[in-house]
Amino acid sequence: MSILEKFKTFILTSRMSNTSIFAMAGPLGVLIGVVLVFLSGVLIEQLVHYISWRYQRAKSGVAAIFAPLITSAPELAVFTVAILQGELEVAWGSIVAQPFMAATIIYPVVLLTTFSAWVAGKRRNKIPHVTRDIAVPLIAFTLPLLPILFLHPEKYGVIGRAYGVLLLVLYVIYAKYMLREEEVEEPEGGLWLKNSLLQTFVAILSIATGAEFLVAGIVELGVTLGVDKTALAVIIIPIASVIPESIVGLIFLFKGQDNEGVSAMIGEKALYGTFYPGVAMALGVYTLGEAAALALLLAIVVSIIEIIIVWRFGYFGLSAPVGLLAYVYYISRFLTGVI
């Protein structure tokens, strides 16, 4: 059984069997999930402004470090639970899924968000416009994925663990640089819940609950419509992972705040390209079966194309058609039993 199959089975069986409350909402759970995820995004956006002002740190840095850590909490929980249950391949599959989804599904979502905002009069540009310097961190957090393809745990277990530690060190250096001091004015409006710790807790709870409602709602909707469970898994993975984790960056982009929005997106790539793979490899929880290797390879190829586009044209997200094709290709390989 491939990693994708095990990941699909783990997500479906664990969430369908332990989330009766979420399932009771039926197809309405999709709407509830969307509302909760959006609410979480707004709460985290406020926290980014507040923390930036409270500690006088660069707003783009807080968006790049703090927001992805909070929004990825549910996936970290999946990783942890999988390890505790002895499902090491599932744990690694949840890690591999992140850079793959961040390089394939997220760019079409970015373009859809910014175009919708432009139509609504919230943005001046249809596509996020960035400086060529953005290509540098994109390169920095794409290249670390490449050596993983060659560090087969059967042959290079010790080296793989050491490389995992190196990835963690790289992320710490990046975080320290991004969270540099900068003079920031007090934001208007403040925090809805007045207390930053309480708002952080509610944001995490909201995004985790929202993701569960999304999953349960899609499952129930699929059952109602008679959709195959494999097809459901193909839908669940991107919706339950990418959208909630990217909601903060998408909100910034919708409002035309491209620096913060793109920083949050790059922060996700940094987290998924260094921190999470680093944790898994340092713990020895990784495999290089065909499914994992193909996911990493496609993530690297699409990311390189995005880097070239950013460097050449100064626009973020134009690799969306390539990313979507890569996703469809991967899923077709899975559905035909090749991986």
Per-residue pLDDT tens digits for 103-132 = 888 899 999 999 999 999 999 999 998 888
CB neighbourhood size of 155 (10 A): 10
- pLDDT in the model for residue 169: 95
C-alpha distances in Å from residue 282, one per residue of 49, 162, 326: 34, 7, 29
Length of the chain: 339
DSSP assignment of 89-148 = HHHHHHHHHHHHHHHHTHHHHHHHHHHHHHHTTS-S-SS-B--GGGHHHHHHTTGGGTGG
Is residue 84, in this structure, part of any structural domain at all?
yes
Residue 132 included in any domain: yes
Tell me if 294 is assigned to some domain. yes
Residue 180 lies in a domain: yes
Asked if residue 266 is part of any domain, the answer here is yes
State residue 133's pLDDT score.
80
Total domains in the chain come to 1
Query: What is the pLDDT at residue 116?
Result: 95
DSSP annotation of 188 reads: S
Is 48 a member of any domain?
A: yes
pLDDT of residue 90: 72
What's the pLDDT at 259?
Answer: 83
* 190-227 core/surface letters (b: 16 or more CB in 10 A; e: else): ebebeeeeebbebbbebbbbbbbbbbbbbbbbbeeeee
CA distance 164 to 158: 10
**pLDDT at position 18, please?**
47
Q: Which residue do the tokens 């709407």 mark?
A: 31
User: Which residues of the chain fall below pLDDT 50?
Assistant: 1-3, 15-19
Residue 179 domain flag:
yes
Query: In whole angstroms, what is the distance from residue 163 CA to residue 169 CA?
Result: 10
Q: Is residue 339 part of a domain?
A: no
Per-residue pLDDT at 16: 47
> Domain limits at 242?
3-334
CATH assignment at residue 286: 1.20.1420.30
E strand intervals along the chain? none
Quick: pLDDT tens for 271-309.
888 998 999 899 888 887 888 888 899 999 999 999 999
Using CB atoms within 10 A of its CB, is residue 301 exposed (0-12), middle (13-18) or buried (19+)? middle
**Residue type at position 166:** L
